Amino acid sequence: MNALQPRDIIFHFTGITEPEQAKYIVVLTCESLSNNTEYYYEVLLINSEIREKYKDNSDALYCQVELFVSDVYSFLGHQSYLDCWFKGQLFHSDIESDFSTNSHHRVVGRLSDEDVIEVIRRINIADSYSPRDRSRIARALKGII
C-alpha cells in the first residue's frame, strides 16, 4: 500500500474511539518515530453528530467543521462533522494490515480546498494544539512540507 497523504479520507476500524468502531478519518500529517522504524499519521475523526461533551464548550463547538453530502463527499450518508478539537494517531502498520484484510477500508476521498481552510482556521484556535503543531499541520494540509 502506498503511504497516505495529508487530506486523504479513509474508512478504518479504529481504537481511537470508545468503543472501537469503523470511522471516516482525515489524515493531517505523516510523522516518523524518533527511531525511524515506523511512521504514524495524525488524524481527525468525522462524526455523524457533535459529541455531547462538546455542547457546553464553545471552543470545542467552534472546532467542528460541518461536512455536507456532495460530489466531494458522496461517501457520507448524511451531514457530518469533522472534529478539529481532538487529534488522534494511527500507526501505518495498523492501517496497512487493515487495508490488506478489508478491501472496504481504503481511501474514499480527499478533503476539499475550502474545508482545508476551515480546518486550519479551527485548529488555530484550539487549545489542544501547540503553535508548532498548528504550523506543521497547516503546511502539510497545504502541501508545503
Q: Which of 23, 20, 1, 19 is nearest to 9 (CA)?
A: 23
Cα four-point dihedral sign 67, 70, 71, 75: positive
Specify the CATH number for 8-142; select among 2.40.40.20, 3.40.50.300, 2.30.30.110, 2.60.40.10: 2.30.30.110
Give 14-42 pLDDT, tens digit per residue.
777 778 788 999 999 998 877 777 888 99
Q: Is the pLDDT of residue 10 over 50?
A: yes
pTM attached to this predicted model:
0.88
pLDDT digits (tens, 9 = 90+) for 73-99: 999 999 999 999 999 998 888 777 666
